[in-house]
Amino acid sequence: MINRGRRLRRDENIRALVRETTLSPDDFILPIFVVEGENIKREISSLPGCYHYSLDRLHEIIEEVRDAKVRGVILFGIPKTKDCCGSEGFAKDGIVQKAVRKIKEIDSNIFVITDVCMCEYTDHGHCGILDGEYVDNDKTLEYLCKIAVSHAEAGADMVAPSDMMDGRVGYIREALDDNGYKNVSIMSYSAKYCSAFYGPFREAADSAPKFGDRKTYQMDPANRREALKEVEMDLEEGADIVMVKPALSYLDIIREVKDNTIVPVAAYSVSGEYAMVKAAAKAGLIDEERIVMEMLTSIKRAGADIIITYYAIYAAKKIRG
């Protein structure tokens, strides 16, 4: 035997020297849920270890983010009222707009991304404006632009449209530029699949559709090449970063997108991925720390430059030791 693969696995020194993928706190973005009200830090039952924060307690999580050296957060808002066209989503004093200002006040160095979508703000729970029971694509675009511009106005560094309407990246880019926000970047949820892995999030954000499902706008989990088409359209329209979501069941898509683009690729390890690990760990079935690090490593190995994960602070702390 001339070749022995085990020579390079003999001890941690050589393993570290030949390691192809390493994680860094720089890789992560933490999702944060903000709510109206006062003195609220309430654990989200579907996402143990994650909380709803009111603005006056937002500093608690932002300080944790800063201490863990995580660079960015992505905000999701639970508004005080919902209506047919998601008015709170683009209100000047909407919950996300206020949260952006608050975070910049607490620490202007934290990179603030906002999720641009309508499902948390509409009374029907769909990601756009309805025409009967159909989500009207082009009408929705106007509203997404208002949301994105209002986030930029509040001080967001980047907006992340997650609605999956056609043409939204181009519309949002133009709206941002027209309003003087040419340096606010766009991370598009380009290949966002219609996934059951979003279940715990919909409870956290109270955003489940009241009827039907999201199959007419989110992608069919069976499709791979279509992801490249979505990515290509978004890049033509001016997306700075493209995202694949969910992550774990879509590692092949992450790799495909990585190999076919020259922009940074983000992956969203979604609520269902987090909740499954939490539940299995609680039941004593798995070693949470090792599972988390293995999952994140595999997402990065698949090609993700940025990983959005509810484990951002946890993993960043483990990496730094």
Active site residues: 192, 245
Q: How many CA atoms lie within 13 A of 288 on its CB side?
A: 15
Nearer to ligand PBG, 97 or 207 (CB): 207
Nearer to ligand PBG, 31 or 303 (CB): 31
Residue among 44, 75, 100, 119 that touches ligand PBG (CB under 6 A): 119
Kindly report the number of other CB atoms within 10 A of residue 236's CB atom. Answer: 10
Give the C-alpha separation, 266 to 289, whole Å: 22
Nearer to ligand PBG, 2 or 118 (CB): 118
119 annotated binding-site participant: yes
Residue with tokens 């039941």: 283
Please tell me whether residue 144 binds ligand PBG under the rule CB under 6 A.
no
Report whether the peptide linkage leading into residue 246 is cis, meaning its omega lies within 30 degrees of zero: yes
318: buried, middle or exposed (CB in 10 Å: 19+, 13-18, 0-12)?
A: middle
Please tell me whether residue 117 binds ligand PBG under the rule CB under 6 A.
yes
Put residue 99 in one of left, alpha, beta given phi > 0 → left and psi -120 to 50 → alpha: alpha
Please tell me whether residue 115 binds ligand PBG under the rule CB under 6 A.
yes
In the complex, the smallest distance separating the C-beta of residue 288 from ligand PBG, rounded to whole angstroms, is 18
What is the separation, in whole angstroms, between the first and last Cα of the chain? 39
Residue among 201, 250, 311, 314 that touches ligand PBG (CB under 6 A): 201
* Residues within window 20-49 making contact with ligand PBG, judged by CB under 6 A: none
In the complex, the smallest distance separating the C-beta of residue 158 from ligand PBG, rounded to whole angstroms, is 14
In the complex, the smallest distance separating the C-beta of residue 10 from ligand PBG, rounded to whole angstroms, is 40
In the complex, the smallest distance separating the C-beta of residue 71 from ligand PBG, rounded to whole angstroms, is 19
Query: ∠ CA 16-20-23 to the nearest 5 degrees?
Result: 80
Please tell me whether residue 162 binds ligand PBG under the rule CB under 6 A.
yes
Q: Point out which span in 114-122, 128-136, 230-238, 295-303 binds ligand PBG (CB under 6 A).
A: 114-122
271 annotated binding-site participant: yes
Residue among 159, 271, 292, 313 that touches ligand PBG (CB under 6 A): 271
Q: Point out which span in 58-66, 133-141, 197-205, 222-230 binds ligand PBG (CB under 6 A).
A: 197-205
Please tell me whether residue 96 binds ligand PBG under the rule CB under 6 A.
no
Distance of CA 202 to the CA centre of its chain: 13
Please tell me whether residue 261 binds ligand PBG under the rule CB under 6 A.
no
Give the C-alpha separation, 180 to 174, whole Å: 10
Kindly report the number of other CB atoms within 10 A of residue 195's CB atom. Answer: 17
Please tell me whether residue 88 binds ligand PBG under the rule CB under 6 A.
no
* CA distances (Å), origin 94, targets 32, 45, 75, 167: 15, 24, 12, 25
Contact 36, 81 (CB under 8 A): no
Contact residues for ligand PBG, defined by CB under 6 A: 115, 117, 119, 127, 162, 198, 201-202, 207, 270-271
